[in-house]
Amino acid sequence: MNTEDLQTIWQQYDRKLEKNLHLNKELLRKINRAESRRAMYVPFIYEIFSLLVGVGFMVWIGSSLPRLSEDFLLLVCGLVAIGCFLTGTIAGLIQIRQLSGMNYADTPVIRLQKQLAAYEKTYRTIKKISYVLMPVLLVSLLPTVNLLINGTHMFDRPIYFSIVLVAGGGIGISLALWIYKKGYEEKILLANQYLKELEEFETEG
Protein backbone atom coordinates (compact mmCIF):
# COMPACT_ATOMS: atom_id res chain seq x y z
CA MET A 1 0.00 0.00 0.00
CA ASN A 2 1.58 3.26 -1.15
CA THR A 3 1.26 6.79 0.18
CA GLU A 4 -1.54 7.75 -2.23
CA ASP A 5 -3.64 4.77 -1.09
CA LEU A 6 -3.18 5.77 2.54
CA GLN A 7 -4.12 9.35 1.74
CA THR A 8 -7.27 8.19 -0.08
CA ILE A 9 -8.30 5.98 2.84
CA TRP A 10 -7.66 8.83 5.26
CA GLN A 11 -9.77 11.24 3.17
CA GLN A 12 -12.62 8.70 3.05
CA TYR A 13 -12.37 8.31 6.82
CA ASP A 14 -12.48 12.11 7.25
CA ARG A 15 -15.59 12.37 5.08
CA LYS A 16 -17.35 9.61 7.04
CA LEU A 17 -16.36 11.24 10.32
CA GLU A 18 -17.62 14.63 9.16
CA LYS A 19 -20.88 13.05 7.99
CA ASN A 20 -21.34 11.30 11.34
CA LEU A 21 -20.67 14.53 13.22
CA HIS A 22 -23.23 16.32 11.07
CA LEU A 23 -25.81 13.58 11.68
CA ASN A 24 -25.13 13.69 15.43
CA LYS A 25 -25.61 17.46 15.47
CA GLU A 26 -28.88 17.13 13.57
CA LEU A 27 -30.04 14.47 16.01
CA LEU A 28 -29.14 16.67 18.96
CA ARG A 29 -31.03 19.59 17.40
CA LYS A 30 -34.15 17.44 17.00
CA ILE A 31 -33.82 16.08 20.54
CA ASN A 32 -33.48 19.57 22.02
CA ARG A 33 -36.51 20.84 20.13
CA ALA A 34 -38.53 17.82 21.25
CA GLU A 35 -37.44 18.15 24.88
CA SER A 36 -38.19 21.87 24.95
CA ARG A 37 -41.67 21.19 23.52
CA ARG A 38 -42.21 18.39 26.05
CA ALA A 39 -41.28 20.68 28.93
CA MET A 40 -43.83 23.31 27.86
CA TYR A 41 -46.49 20.65 27.36
CA VAL A 42 -46.91 20.48 31.15
CA PRO A 43 -48.12 24.10 31.65
CA PHE A 44 -50.27 23.67 28.53
CA ILE A 45 -52.07 20.71 30.15
CA TYR A 46 -52.42 22.63 33.42
CA GLU A 47 -54.07 25.52 31.55
CA ILE A 48 -56.48 23.22 29.71
CA PHE A 49 -57.48 21.56 33.00
CA SER A 50 -57.87 24.93 34.78
CA LEU A 51 -59.96 26.22 31.89
CA LEU A 52 -62.34 23.26 32.07
CA VAL A 53 -62.65 23.56 35.85
CA GLY A 54 -63.28 27.30 35.63
CA VAL A 55 -65.94 26.96 32.95
CA GLY A 56 -67.57 24.16 34.91
CA PHE A 57 -67.83 26.30 38.04
CA MET A 58 -69.14 29.28 36.06
CA VAL A 59 -71.90 27.17 34.51
CA TRP A 60 -72.79 25.57 37.85
CA ILE A 61 -72.89 28.82 39.83
CA GLY A 62 -74.50 30.75 36.96
CA SER A 63 -77.32 28.23 36.69
CA SER A 64 -77.80 28.50 40.47
CA LEU A 65 -78.12 32.30 40.58
CA PRO A 66 -81.94 32.17 41.04
CA ARG A 67 -81.41 30.14 44.20
CA LEU A 68 -78.61 32.43 45.38
CA SER A 69 -80.75 35.52 44.73
CA GLU A 70 -82.86 34.62 47.77
CA ASP A 71 -80.01 36.05 49.86
CA PHE A 72 -78.38 39.25 48.60
CA LEU A 73 -75.00 38.52 50.25
CA LEU A 74 -74.83 35.05 48.76
CA LEU A 75 -75.85 36.43 45.37
CA VAL A 76 -72.94 38.87 45.56
CA CYS A 77 -70.62 36.01 46.52
CA GLY A 78 -71.82 33.98 43.55
CA LEU A 79 -71.32 36.86 41.12
CA VAL A 80 -67.87 37.62 42.52
CA ALA A 81 -66.88 33.95 42.20
CA ILE A 82 -68.09 33.92 38.58
CA GLY A 83 -66.06 37.07 37.94
CA CYS A 84 -62.93 35.44 39.37
CA PHE A 85 -63.42 32.31 37.28
CA LEU A 86 -64.11 34.43 34.19
CA THR A 87 -60.84 36.31 34.75
CA GLY A 88 -59.01 33.01 35.15
CA THR A 89 -60.64 31.66 31.99
CA ILE A 90 -59.53 34.67 29.95
CA ALA A 91 -56.01 34.39 31.38
CA GLY A 92 -55.97 30.68 30.56
CA LEU A 93 -57.08 31.30 26.97
CA ILE A 94 -54.30 33.86 26.53
CA GLN A 95 -51.69 31.40 27.78
CA ILE A 96 -53.09 28.50 25.73
CA ARG A 97 -52.98 30.67 22.61
CA GLN A 98 -49.35 31.60 23.24
CA LEU A 99 -48.26 28.04 24.01
CA SER A 100 -50.10 26.49 21.06
CA GLY A 101 -48.57 29.11 18.75
CA MET A 102 -45.04 27.86 19.41
CA ASN A 103 -44.09 25.62 16.49
CA TYR A 104 -41.03 23.65 17.58
CA ALA A 105 -40.72 21.72 14.32
CA ASP A 106 -39.35 24.39 12.00
CA THR A 107 -39.43 27.78 13.78
CA PRO A 108 -35.97 29.40 14.04
CA VAL A 109 -34.53 29.00 17.53
CA ILE A 110 -34.18 32.77 18.08
CA ARG A 111 -37.89 33.21 17.40
CA LEU A 112 -38.74 30.32 19.72
CA GLN A 113 -36.70 31.97 22.47
CA LYS A 114 -38.56 35.25 21.94
CA GLN A 115 -41.91 33.46 22.03
CA LEU A 116 -40.95 31.66 25.22
CA ALA A 117 -39.77 34.92 26.79
CA ALA A 118 -43.09 36.56 25.84
CA TYR A 119 -45.00 33.66 27.40
CA GLU A 120 -42.92 33.84 30.57
CA LYS A 121 -43.71 37.55 30.88
CA THR A 122 -47.42 36.83 30.44
CA TYR A 123 -47.28 33.98 32.96
CA ARG A 124 -45.60 36.14 35.63
CA THR A 125 -48.17 38.91 35.16
CA ILE A 126 -51.06 36.46 35.45
CA LYS A 127 -49.40 34.86 38.48
CA LYS A 128 -49.41 38.22 40.29
CA ILE A 129 -53.07 38.74 39.42
CA SER A 130 -53.93 35.25 40.68
CA TYR A 131 -52.36 36.01 44.07
CA VAL A 132 -54.75 38.96 44.38
CA LEU A 133 -57.80 37.03 43.19
CA MET A 134 -57.12 33.86 45.19
CA PRO A 135 -58.37 35.14 48.59
CA VAL A 136 -61.28 36.93 46.91
CA LEU A 137 -62.30 33.71 45.16
CA LEU A 138 -61.96 31.68 48.34
CA VAL A 139 -64.09 34.07 50.43
CA SER A 140 -66.82 34.19 47.79
CA LEU A 141 -66.71 30.55 46.68
CA LEU A 142 -66.88 28.83 50.07
CA PRO A 143 -70.30 30.17 51.18
CA THR A 144 -71.65 29.79 47.64
CA VAL A 145 -70.67 26.13 47.33
CA ASN A 146 -71.74 25.41 50.91
CA LEU A 147 -75.24 26.71 50.21
CA LEU A 148 -75.56 24.84 46.92
CA ILE A 149 -74.36 21.54 48.39
CA ASN A 150 -75.46 21.62 52.02
CA GLY A 151 -78.24 24.19 51.85
CA THR A 152 -76.81 26.07 54.85
CA HIS A 153 -75.43 29.59 55.32
CA MET A 154 -71.79 29.71 56.39
CA PHE A 155 -72.19 33.35 57.44
CA ASP A 156 -74.52 32.17 60.20
CA ARG A 157 -71.56 30.25 61.66
CA PRO A 158 -68.65 32.72 61.65
CA ILE A 159 -66.26 30.51 63.63
CA TYR A 160 -66.80 27.55 61.31
CA PHE A 161 -66.49 29.85 58.30
CA SER A 162 -63.22 31.27 59.64
CA ILE A 163 -61.74 27.81 60.28
CA VAL A 164 -62.68 26.53 56.83
CA LEU A 165 -61.44 29.75 55.24
CA VAL A 166 -58.02 29.58 56.94
CA ALA A 167 -57.63 25.85 56.29
CA GLY A 168 -58.80 26.13 52.68
CA GLY A 169 -56.63 29.18 52.11
CA GLY A 170 -53.55 27.45 53.48
CA ILE A 171 -54.10 24.36 51.36
CA GLY A 172 -55.02 26.35 48.25
CA ILE A 173 -52.05 28.72 48.43
CA SER A 174 -49.61 25.89 49.16
CA LEU A 175 -50.95 23.90 46.20
CA ALA A 176 -50.80 26.95 43.93
CA LEU A 177 -47.19 27.67 44.93
CA TRP A 178 -46.22 24.05 44.23
CA ILE A 179 -47.95 24.05 40.83
CA TYR A 180 -46.39 27.38 39.86
CA LYS A 181 -42.92 26.12 40.77
CA LYS A 182 -43.09 22.54 39.43
CA GLY A 183 -45.57 22.95 36.60
CA TYR A 184 -44.50 26.30 35.23
CA GLU A 185 -41.25 27.88 36.42
CA GLU A 186 -39.12 24.74 36.35
CA LYS A 187 -40.53 23.79 32.95
CA ILE A 188 -39.90 27.25 31.51
CA LEU A 189 -36.32 27.12 32.80
CA LEU A 190 -35.83 23.65 31.33
CA ALA A 191 -37.25 24.68 27.95
CA ASN A 192 -34.97 27.72 27.92
CA GLN A 193 -31.95 25.54 28.63
CA TYR A 194 -32.74 23.24 25.70
CA LEU A 195 -33.24 26.21 23.38
CA LYS A 196 -29.96 27.74 24.57
CA GLU A 197 -28.14 24.52 23.70
CA LEU A 198 -29.94 24.44 20.36
CA GLU A 199 -28.79 27.99 19.67
CA GLU A 200 -25.20 26.96 20.38
CA PHE A 201 -25.49 23.97 18.00
CA GLU A 202 -26.82 26.17 15.22
CA THR A 203 -24.11 28.77 15.82
CA GLU A 204 -21.44 26.09 15.59
CA GLY A 205 -23.11 24.41 12.61
115-138 pLDDT per residue, tens: 999 999 999 999 999 999 999 999
Q: Check residue 24 and give its pLDDT.
A: 56
Please say if the pLDDT value at position 201 is more than 90.
no
pLDDT tens for residues 36-79? 889 999 999 999 999 999 999 999 999 999 999 989 999 999 99
Mean pLDDT comparison of 13-27, 94-108, 118-132, 161-175, highest-scoring range: 118-132
Percent of the chain with pLDDT over 90: 55
| pLDDT band at residue 204 under the 50/70/90 scheme | low
Radius of gyration of the chain (CA): 27
Is 184 in contact with 191 (CB distance < 8 Å)? no
Q: Check residue 203 and give its pLDDT.
A: 67
| pLDDT band at residue 198 under the 50/70/90 scheme | confident
**Per-position b or e across 39-62, b if 16+ CB within 10 A of its CB:** bbebbbebbeebbeebeebbeebe
Q: What is the distance between the alpha carbons of residues 35 and 135, in angstroms, rounded to a whole number?
A: 36
Angle, CA 92 vertex, CA 144 and CA 136 arms, to 5° = 35
What's the chain's average pLDDT?
86
Query: HSE-up of 183 (CA within 13 Å, CB side)?
Result: 17
Mean pLDDT for 73-99 is 95
pLDDT tens for residues 13-40? 556 656 555 555 666 677 778 888 899 9
Residues 6 or more apart whose CB falls under 8 angstroms from that of 22 comprise 205
Is 109 in contact with 195 (CB distance < 8 Å)? yes
Comparison of pLDDT for 204 and 199, the residue scoring more: 199
Percent of the chain with pLDDT over 70: 84
Predicted TM-score (pTM) of the model is 0.82
| pLDDT band at residue 12 under the 50/70/90 scheme | low
